[in-house]
């Protein structure tokens, strides 16, 4: 087993000091692989005068050139032929990224997901009804959020799956009637319910129940699992305490049974919220906040561009990606939940102009126009 496998299969989920060397070894191993197999990435590293064997300490991670996610939306970089499984971004900005999983990455991803789900009490033998606040699976849909939501319906045996966005006559439609009818059936039964998906649709559903004057207490053991952000509904976004209050009021599901995850397609590491709803960074990744102008790493507490690092994927050089999210990294102790790993606060999207500048910079590097 290489450094990547050891990192994903063993050890505590949030022990950064104990996994520092292993993480660096896995990054170095992966970087060397990308350097050998992806000519475009090799050109970017050569131009930045960076070679994979320079990854020896934490500061070297900061020096590894981050690739903007927008760059992956425009160019398909590959280091391997074909993949066993692939996901795409939702493409709300018009372009999609595609990420292929090699066999090793799939196994690591599975190990990571099962370990995190077990730690959050989501693996259960109890038959469960699932209400998916997102897309119904369909042949032509490869969105990461849809696949993750569907896969999570196997954590407890599924009695029934109901979808907010159903695929009919060639397009997705929001089936609010179907959701309300399913919640009516669920209320008062013994079988727990899991509502999984976008926070926006959960909010719309709670508003609908309020509008109809319905309070439908869900059976004990019911849970809510949110992910994917508000996307095109950012104008209707409500803050987390309000959403938890709505869920408690309408469905009698307490705040501690509401979990949220953060992830991006180009960086398929799942960040789970802690009891205080903060996204601590697991050992499978490192987060660096960068100054939007200079790309220099910023200290704790300073907002900037979110740079996400992981050695998970071999199929493409996704070691260090610069997202279009603005965020702040906080020291673990400042949360108060007892987890020592730093936590990431996502503040929102940055203006596209800054990101385009970064992506254009990477393109120039690739063509050899900068250096």
Contact footprint for Zn ion (CB under 5 A): 274, 276, 278, 335, 337, 339
Nearer to Zn ion among residue 223 and residue 280 (C-beta): 280
- First-to-last alpha carbon distance for the chain, in angstroms, is 37
Of 214, 132, 142, 210, residue with least CA distance to 174: 132
Nearer to Zn ion among residue 18 and residue 331 (C-beta): 331
Q: At what angle do helices 39-47 and 352-367 cross, to 10 degrees?
A: 100
Nearer to Zn ion among residue 198 and residue 279 (C-beta): 279
Q: Can you name the residues that pair with 167 across neighbouring β-strands? A: 172
CB of 325 to Zn ion, least distance (A): 19
Nearer to Zn ion among residue 13 and residue 180 (C-beta): 13
- Dihedral of alpha carbons 205, 248, 215, 161, sign: positive
CB of 23 to Zn ion, least distance (A): 21
Question: Are the C-beta atoms of 330 and 35 separated by less than 8 Å?
Answer: no
Of 350, 348, 352, residue with least CA distance to 93: 352
CB of 255 to Zn ion, least distance (A): 14
CB of 338 to Zn ion, least distance (A): 7
CB of 286 to Zn ion, least distance (A): 17
Q: Report CA-CA distances (Å) from 290 to 75, 322, 329.
A: 23, 9, 10
**What is the Cα–Cα distance from 146 to 138, expressed in whole angstroms?**
9
Nearer to Zn ion among residue 208 and residue 345 (C-beta): 345
């Amino acid at each position: 087993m290489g450094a990547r496998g050891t990192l994903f299969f063993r050890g505590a989920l949030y022990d950064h000091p104990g996994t520092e060397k292993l993480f660096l070894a896995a990054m170095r191993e992966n970087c060397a692989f990308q350097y050998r197999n992806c000519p475009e990435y090799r050109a970017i590293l050569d131009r930045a005068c960076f070679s994979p064997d320079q990854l020896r300490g934490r500061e070297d991670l900061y020096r590894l050139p981050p690739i903007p996610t927008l760059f992956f939306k425009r160019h398909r970089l590959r280091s391997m032929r074909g993949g066993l499984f692939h996901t795409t971004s939702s493409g709300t900005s018009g372009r999609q990224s595609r990420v292929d999983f090699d066999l090793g990455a799939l196994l690591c991803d599975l190990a990571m997901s099962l370990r995190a789900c077990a730690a959050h009490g989501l693996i259960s033998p109890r038959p469960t009804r699932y209400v998916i606040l997102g897309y119904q699976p369909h042949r032509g849909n490869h969105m990461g959020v849809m696949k993750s939501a569907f896969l999570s319906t196997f954590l407890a045996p599924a009695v029934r799956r109901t979808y907010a966005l159903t695929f009919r006559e060639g397009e997705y439609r929001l089936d609010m009637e179907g959701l309300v009818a399913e919640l009516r059936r669920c209320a008062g039964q013994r079988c727990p319910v899991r509502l999984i998906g976008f926070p926006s649709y959960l909010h719309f559903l709670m508003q609908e129940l309020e509008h109809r004057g319905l309070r439908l207490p869900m059976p004990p053991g019911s849970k809510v699992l949110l992910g994917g952000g508000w996307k095109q509904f950012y104008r209707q976004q409500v803050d987390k305490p309000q959403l938890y209050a709505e869920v408690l009021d309408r469905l009698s599901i307490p705040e501690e049974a509401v979990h949220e995850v953060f992830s991006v397609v180009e960086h398929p590491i799942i960040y789970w919220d802690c009891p205080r709803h903060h996204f601590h960074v697991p050992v499978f990744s490192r987060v660096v906040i960068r100054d939007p102008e200079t790309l220099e790493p910023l200290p704790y507490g300073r907002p900037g561009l979110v740079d996400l690092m992981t050695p998970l994927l071999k199929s493409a050089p996704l070691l260090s990606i610069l997202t279009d999210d603005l965020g702040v990294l906080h020291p673990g102790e400042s949360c108060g939940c007892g987890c020592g790993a730093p936590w990431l606060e996502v503040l929102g999207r940055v203006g596209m102009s800054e990101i385009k500048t970064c992506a254009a910079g990477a393109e120039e590097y690739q063509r050899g126009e900068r250096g």
